[in-house]
Amino acid sequence: MDLSGREPQTPNEWIDHLTRQIHIESAETRRYDEYYEGNHPLAFAQVKFREAFGGMFQGQWADNFCALVVDSVAERLQVEGFRLTEDPKADRDAADIWQRSGMDADSDAAHTDALIQRRAYVHVWADADGKPTITPYSAHEMTLAYVPGSRRTRRVALKRQVDEWGTEHVALMTAKSVYTTSRPEGRDKWDDGKPAKNPLGVVPVIALDNRPRLNRKPMSELHRIIPLQDAVNKVMIDALVASEMGAFPMRWVTGLELAEEDGKTAPPPFKVALDKMLHSEDPNTKFGQFETVDLANYVRLIDALTTHIASVSRIPTHYFLLQAGQPPSGESIKSAEAGLVAKVLQRQRCFGEAWEEVIRLAFAVLKDPRQNAHSAEVIWRDPEYRTEGEHVDALLKKKTFGVPDRQLQEDAGYTPAQIERFPQLRDEQAKEARDRAERFGPPVVPGESQAPAAPGAEDTQGDSRGSSRHLGEAA
């Protein structure tokens, strides 16, 4: 439907407009998807490459650094829980909603898609039982429009999915209503829609923007990596062609007069092969071969390009296996990963704002006053990799500064659910210790002298029967 530059007025006009936006977004980001999955175009491959290898590498090039750039960040974006209010029960309820929606796994997928496709979307709604559900969607399935002049007030969202029969199903969501309709494959018009009231009073879709800008679209992690990846592929193809051609060195011969047949020069009187010896009866004939191809130049160029990828993406160079010998350790690896850690922390701030809004919407589904907990924050797993000894030592030092145990437990990486179980586990452990002491006496500490035996007590040292008798009496 051509709107001729005017704003959509009816639900179907909004659906057509936003569907067009999804198609545009998908066309722009599909290239990022292909590169992440390793489907790199090799249109620049030489004719010699095609002659030597045919379709061996077409569509399945495996030297893929794009996935490494994305996964190195995504694997450190782990949501551990939420801190909503001073009441720990609010944190437990938020964790329950999160777990019930399977978001431990789905949040990883949402982060990965946002890093690749510039943004992902999260839909919050109620299930058949009235409980909140959180569902992430790709930018190929959903889009969102904001109120003109605002970067936060959501105006309308569209969810579009195509079933296995080709029928399009869409849901147009505004602050007041949710309008659903469908369109079979091959038809231009939508079926009659079904409007329903939106009980939340806000558009129930949140955008996860990667590297947001004030006056630009969010940016994919692969935006600046793809040209360098293409260069790596080009040099690698050249190296493969050189290795193929140089695997059998070219030979030359001088002083050999070739006969002519029917005015044409006859082929040489010998066939060149690895197991063939060349000889000529003419004493003036000389044989030789050209120098072998030096592939080290290609290797050095590929190393230089991957170093540029590491610099642009802030991924440590040892992730690319560029350093000879042992990878860095201790303080060296901490220094090498400082850029990556800072990058992950920045992504946590961007995505964290979205997840906080998602949790508030989930409480709005329950009509819970915690929907207004604007001081809520996401508890992220520490993005810095450290040895267990270094981590524990740092926590003990924090304890000397008066940091509460609860905070130390969170810093140690325990989830809110695990921390909530600690008092119960301590009580069970103490009860087991008391029961053991009542049955067998206090535990024996190595190195401490034992109390003298009572007068008349039997000396059963070395007597297995005496030991068995004591055990039986204790039992």
Q: What is the pLDDT of residues 407-419, one digit of tens each?
A: 888 778 777 777 8
The residue among 457 and 355 whose pLDDT is bigger is: 355
**Reported confidence tier of residue 208, pLDDT bands at 50, 70, 90:** very high
Residue 335 confidence (pLDDT): 84
Residue 446 confidence (pLDDT): 65
Are β-strands 251-254 and 286-289 bridged in parallel, bridged antiparallel, or unpaired?
antiparallel
Residue 427 confidence (pLDDT): 85
113-143: pLDDT as tens digits = 999 999 999 999 999 899 999 999 999 999 9
Residue 447 confidence (pLDDT): 62
Residue 465 confidence (pLDDT): 44
Kindly state the average pLDDT of the residues 203-222: 92
Averaged pLDDT of the chain: 82
Residue 469 confidence (pLDDT): 42
Residue at token pair 């006859």:
266
**Reported confidence tier of residue 455, pLDDT bands at 50, 70, 90:** low
Does residue 223 contact residue 208 with C-beta atoms inside 8 Å?
no
21 pLDDT more than 90:
yes
Percentage of the chain surpassing pLDDT 90?
40
291-339: pLDDT as tens digits = 767 788 888 898 899 999 999 999 998 888 755 556 676 677 888 889 9
**Amino acid at position 205, single letter:** V
Kindly state the average pLDDT of the residues 70-99: 89
- Containing H/E element for 314? none
Does residue 172 contact residue 15 with C-beta atoms inside 8 Å?
yes
The residue among 471 and 60 whose pLDDT is bigger is: 60
84 pLDDT more than 80:
yes
Residue 460 confidence (pLDDT): 47
Residue 264 confidence (pLDDT): 72
CA pair distance 119, 212, nearest whole angstrom: 9
**Half-sphere exposure of residue 178, counting CA atoms within 13 Å on the CB side?**
17
Look at phi and psi of residue 401 and say left if phi exceeds 0, alpha if psi is from -120 to 50, else beta. alpha
Q: How far is CA 125 from the centre of its chain?
A: 26
Kindly state the average pLDDT of the residues 54-66: 66
CA pair distance 96, 100, nearest whole angstrom: 6
Q: Which two tokens stand for residue 63?
A: 């030297």
Instruction: Name all contacts of 74-78 with Cβ < 8 Å and 24+ positions apart.
Output: 74/108, 74/111, 74/112, 74/115, 76/340, 76/341, 76/344, 76/381, 76/383, 77/108, 77/111, 77/344, 77/347, 77/348, 77/351, 77/380, 77/383, 78/108, 78/380, 78/381
SS3 for 201? coil
- CB under 8 Å to 348, separation ≥6 — which residues? 77, 378, 380, 383
Residue 267 confidence (pLDDT): 66
Q: How far is CA 243 from the centre of its chain?
A: 35
Kindly state the average pLDDT of the residues 414-434: 82
Kindly state the average pLDDT of the residues 393-406: 83
Residue 422 confidence (pLDDT): 83
466 pLDDT more than 50:
no
Residue 473 confidence (pLDDT): 44
**Reported confidence tier of residue 187, pLDDT bands at 50, 70, 90:** confident
Residue 111 confidence (pLDDT): 97
- Containing H/E element for 160? strand 154-162
270 pLDDT more than 50:
yes
93-104: pLDDT as tens digits = 998 999 999 998
**Reported confidence tier of residue 58, pLDDT bands at 50, 70, 90:** low
**Reported confidence tier of residue 389, pLDDT bands at 50, 70, 90:** confident
133-174: pLDDT as tens digits = 999 999 999 999 999 888 889 999 999 999 888 899 999 999
Kindly state the average pLDDT of the residues 359-387: 89
Residue 240 confidence (pLDDT): 78
SS3 for 113? helix
The residue among 352 and 186 whose pLDDT is bigger is: 352
- What are the CA-CA distances from residue 6 to residues 80, 146, 153, 470 (Å)? 45, 16, 21, 95
Phi, psi for 146 (deg, rounded to 5)? -105, 160
The residue among 423 and 313 whose pLDDT is bigger is: 313
CA pair distance 357, 205, nearest whole angstrom: 10
238 pLDDT more than 60:
yes
- Say how many C-beta atoms besides its own lie within 10 A of residue 62's C-beta: 7
The residue among 451 and 369 whose pLDDT is bigger is: 369
Kindly state the average pLDDT of the residues 390-400: 81
202 pLDDT more than 80:
yes
468 pLDDT more than 50:
no
